[in-house]
Amino acid sequence: MIDIKQKLYQACLAYVQRSIDAAQQAINEAQQAAKDDTKSSAGDKYETGREMAQQESNRNIAQVHEANKLKIQLSQVPVNASKVVENGSVVITDAGSFYMAVSAGTLLIEGINYFAISLASPIGQKMKGLKQDDAFSLNGKNYTIKQVI
């Protein structure tokens, strides 16, 4: 079962890397657009274009920083098996399967959908410290933990 954890970890790492790459690409494009913008007779048009490109670049730089934080957080996720829900756990419930690492959406591994979530998320907080056969509810929905890996 640690094999599934490794695959989930790699899928999350790929998700984070795609986020970093996309933001970096957007930064490069915004910088190139600002560089290519030449002063026209309109005057203000040039400054407005440069400012918009700079704002876009700043937004993407913030996205790169956030994705790098996720990468650091992910690097601290253990892959060993556990009996209670903690960072790095795979949790199988009667209402879905979860990977406690970083928020990376739904990951399809070996034909099963896993929701990659942060332990700090609302559902992560509800599951934290629980074990097999424990139950919890969130937003009026009841969950029973069938297995913790």
Query: pLDDT tens digit string along 41-73?
Result: 455 555 677 777 788 888 999 999 999 999 999
Query: pLDDT tens digit string along 87-129?
Result: 999 999 999 999 999 999 999 999 999 999 999 999 999 999 9
- How far, in Å, are 23, 38, 72, 87 from residue 115 at the CA level? 23, 47, 20, 14
| Total of domains in the chain | 2
Tell whether 13 and 71 lie within a shared domain. yes
Q: What's residue 10's pLDDT?
A: 96
Q: What's residue 53's pLDDT?
A: 76
Q: What's residue 2's pLDDT?
A: 66
Distance CA 93, CA 100 (A): 13
| Residue span of the structural domain in which 20 resides | 2-75
Sorted by sequence, the CB contacts under 8 Å of residue 58 that are 6+ apart come out as: none
Sorted by sequence, the CB contacts under 8 Å of residue 134 that are 6+ apart come out as: 144, 145
pTM: 0.82
Of 52, 75, 98, the residue that ends a domain is 75
Tell whether 56 and 112 lie within a shared domain. no
Q: What's residue 1's pLDDT?
A: 61
The answer to whether 37 and 88 are in contact (CB under 8 A) is no
